[in-house]
C-alpha cells in the first residue's frame, strides 16, 4: 500500500485549509500528502462567519462584509460600528471549489475515501475527526439557519443582528441571528446553548417560522438554503503527539464561549505550514490559556444561570467595538480583558470560580 509524508484525516474546513496553506507555501513540492474524506461531493453546507481580525486566504469566497452590528434584548437594542474589523461570511461551496481546484494541480496530493486504502504507519498525521462519540449531556451550541429570499426589499443589508434575545428561552439560552446578504436575502438562525439531550428545543423549523413572521414581520418568502449544526462547547480528549496532531474542532480550535472556529483554523493552518519541517519539535498550538480559563468560568455561569445570560451578553457589548471584537476573536490585551471582565456580574462569576 502507498505511503505518504503527510496525512490529513477529514477534508472539511480544517483539513482543506491546511492542505491549501501547505500548497500555496510550496511545502508540497517534494512531499506527498493524502487526504481522507468520505463525502461523495462538495456542496454548500455551511456559512462561516467571523470578525476579520487578520488577513485570510478566502477573501474571494466572502458573501458579504459588514461594519455594523446590533445586539437585541427585551430591554434595548445596541448598535456597534467597527471599520477596522469587518464581520464576514464565507460560502462553503466557494471555499471547497477554490481549494480543490488548487490542490488538483499538484500530483503529490491524493484523495482517498477510507484510511485503510493507504499505509499510514510512517506519516505525520493531521486529524480533524473526533476520536470518540461526544457527550450529549455537555453544553453545545446547536442551531438551524435558513437563507430566505423575499419578493420585496425588506432588510437593511448594512447591519447584521448578532443576537436577538427577544424569543422564548425555555430555561436555556436562546437567540436569533440574522445576516442580511442583500435587501431581499438573509440567513436567519435560531441558536441554543444547551445540552443535546432535550429534543424539545429542536423544533427549529417552527421557531424560525414564528420569528420570521412575528418578529421580522415577513409573510412571503422562499427558502434557498438550510444549514444545521451542533458545535461542542467543551474540548474533546486529544491524542496529540509528535506524529499525530489534531486540527479543526477536534483539535480544540473552537472558542468555547462563542463557537467561533473558522479563523482559528486559519491561524492554526498557517502555524503548521510555517513549522512543517520541524513540526515534531514545536509546541502544540492553542487558543491561549487565558481564554480557556475565562471561557470555562463564563460557561459555568451560563449553565447555572441561563436566565441571566441575555443581560450578561448585552452588557459585554457595552464597550468599544474594538475591545469586544478583539476579546471574542482571541486578540485582546490585558487591559481589554479587564474591561470585559468588569462588565460581568461579579458575585455569580466569583461563585463560579470557586465552585
Ligand X SMILES: Cc1cc2nc3c(=O)[nH]c(=O)nc-3n(C[C@H](O)[C@H](O)[C@H](O)COP(=O)(O)OP(=O)(O)OC[C@H]3O[C@@H](n4cnc5c(N)ncnc54)[C@H](O)[C@@H]3O)c2cc1C
Exactly one of 21, 34, 46, 162 binds ligand X (CB under 6 A); that residue is 46
Q: Does 232 interact with ligand X (rule: CB under 6 A)?
A: no
How many residues contact ligand X, by CB under 6 A?
Answer: 28
Among 123, 128, 194, 266, binds ligand X (CB under 6 A): 128
Minimum separation from the CB atom of position 203 to ligand X (A): 18
Pick from 160, 231, 287, 325 the residue near ligand X by CB under 6 A.
231
Residues 205-224 that bind ligand X (CB under 6 A): none
Q: Which range, of 3-11, 69-77, 326-334, 347-355, touches ligand X by CB under 6 A?
A: 3-11
CB-neighbour burial class of residue 294 (10 A; exposed 0-12, middle 13-18, buried 19+):
buried
The distance of closest approach from Cβ of residue 331 to ligand X in the complex, given in angstroms and rounded to an integer, is 14
d(CA 11, CA 286): 21
Give the shortest CB-77-to-ligand X separation in angstroms: 22
Q: For residue 126, give the H/E element and its range.
A: strand 124-127
191's CB contacts (< 8 A; 6+ apart) are 141, 142, 143, 174, 175, 176, 177
C-beta of 179: minimal distance to ligand X in Å? 9
Site for ligand X in 305-324 (CB under 6 A): none
Work out whether 126 is an interface residue with ligand X (CB under 6 A): no
Decide whether 14 or 173 has the Cβ nearer to ligand X.
14
Q: Is 220 exposed, middle or buried (0-12, 13-18, 19+ CB in 10 A)?
A: exposed
**Sheet of strand 159-164, all strands in order from the earlier edge strand to the far edge:** 77-81, 68-72, 159-164, 173-182, 185-194, 140-149, 222-232
The candidate with the shortest Cα–Cα distance to 255, out of 279, 288, 227, 214, is 288
Q: Which residue has the cell 494541480?
A: 105
Instruction: Give the shortest CB-50-to-ligand X separation in angstroms.
Output: 5
Binds ligand X by CB under 6 A, chosen from 10, 180, 252, 310? 10
Q: Should residue 63 be labelled a site residue for ligand X when binding is judged by CB under 6 A?
A: no
Q: Does 291 engage in binding with ligand X (CB under 6 A)?
A: no
Q: Is 260 among the residues that bind ligand X (CB under 6 A)?
A: yes
Contacts of residue 35, Cβ cutoff 8 Å, sequence gap at least 6? 7, 8, 11, 15, 16, 19, 103, 109, 110, 111, 112
> Cell numbers of 20, please?
491549501
Question: Hey, which residues between 236 and 255 contact ligand X (CB under 6 A)?
Answer: 248-250
Question: Is residue 20 close enough to count as binding ligand X by CB under 6 A?
Answer: no
> With helix as H, strand as E and coil as C, how does 251-284 read?
HCCCCCCCCCCHHHHHHHHHHHHHHHHHCCCCCC
Asked if 15 is part of the footprint of ligand X (rule: CB under 6 A), the reply reads yes
Q: Residue 69 has which C-alpha cell?
A: 452590528
Q: How long, in residues, is the chain?
A: 355
User: Is residue 227 part of the contact set for ligand X (CB under 6 A)?
Assistant: yes
Considering only 39, 84, 242, 304, the residue that binds ligand X (CB under 6 A) is 39
Contact set with ligand X (CB under 6 A): 9-15, 36-39, 46-50, 128-129, 227, 229, 231, 248-250, 260-262, 265
Amino acid at each position: 500500500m502507498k505511503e505518504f509524508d503527510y496525512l490529513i484525516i477529514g477534508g472539511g474546513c480544517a483539513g482543506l485549509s491546511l492542505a491549501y496553506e501547505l500548497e500555496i507555501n510550496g511545502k508540497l513540492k517534494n512531499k506527498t500528502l493524502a487526504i481522507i474524506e468520505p463525502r461523495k461531493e462538495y456542496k454548500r453546507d455551511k456559512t462561516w462567519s467571523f470578525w476579520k481580525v487578520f488577513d485570510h486566504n478566502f477573501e474571494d469566497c466572502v458573501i458579504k462584509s459588514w461594519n455594523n452590528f446590533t445586539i437585541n434584548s427585551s430591554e434595548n437594542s445596541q448598535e456597534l460600528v467597527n471599520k477596522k474589523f469587518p464581520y464576514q461570511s464565507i460560502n462553503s461551496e466557494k471555499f471547497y471549489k477554490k481549494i480543490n481546484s488548487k490542490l488538483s494541480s499538484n500530483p503529490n496530493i491524493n484523495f482517498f475515501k477510507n484510511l485503510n486504502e493507504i499505509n499510514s504507519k510512517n506519516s505525520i498525521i493531521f486529524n480533524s475527526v473526533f476520536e470518540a462519540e461526544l457527550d450529549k449531556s455537555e453544553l453545545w451550541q446547536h442551531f438551524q439557519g435558513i437563507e430566505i429570499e423575499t419578493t420585496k426589499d425588506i432588510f437593511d443589508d448594512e447591519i447584521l443582528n448578532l443576537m436577538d434575545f427577544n424569543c422564548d428561552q425555555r430555561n436555556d439560552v436562546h437567540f436569533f441571528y440574522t445576516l442580511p446578504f442583500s435587501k431581499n436575502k438573509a440567513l436567519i438562525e435560531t441558536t441554543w446553548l444547551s445540552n443535546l439531550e432535550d429534543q424539545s428545543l429542536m423544533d427549529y423549523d417552527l421557531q424560525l417560522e414564528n420569528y420570521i413572521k412575528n418578529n421580522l414581520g415577513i409573510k412571503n418568502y422562499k427558502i434557498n438554503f438550510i444549514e444545521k449544526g451542533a458545535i461542542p462547547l467543551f474540548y474533546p480528549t486529544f491524542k496529540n503527539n509528535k506524529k499525530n496532531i489534531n486540527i479543526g474542532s477536534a483539535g480544540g480550535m473552537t472558542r468555547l464561549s462563542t463557537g467561533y472556529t473558522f479563523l482559528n483554523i486559519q491561524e492554526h493552518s498557517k502555524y503548521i505550514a510555517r513549522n512543517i519541517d520541524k513540526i515534531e519539535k514545536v509546541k502544540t498550538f492553542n487558543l491561549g490559556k487565558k481564554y480557556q480559563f475565562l471561557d470555562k468560568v463564563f460557561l459555568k455561569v451560563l449553565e447555572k444561570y441561563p436566565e441571566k445570560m441575555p443581560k450578561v451578553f448585552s452588557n459585554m457589548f457595552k464597550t468599544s467595538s474594538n475591545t469586544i471584537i478583539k476579546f471574542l476573536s482571541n486578540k485582546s490585551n490585558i487591559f481589554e480583558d479587564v474591561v470585559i471582565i468588569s462588565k460581568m456580574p461579579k458575585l455569580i462569576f466569583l461563585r463560579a470560580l470557586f465552585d
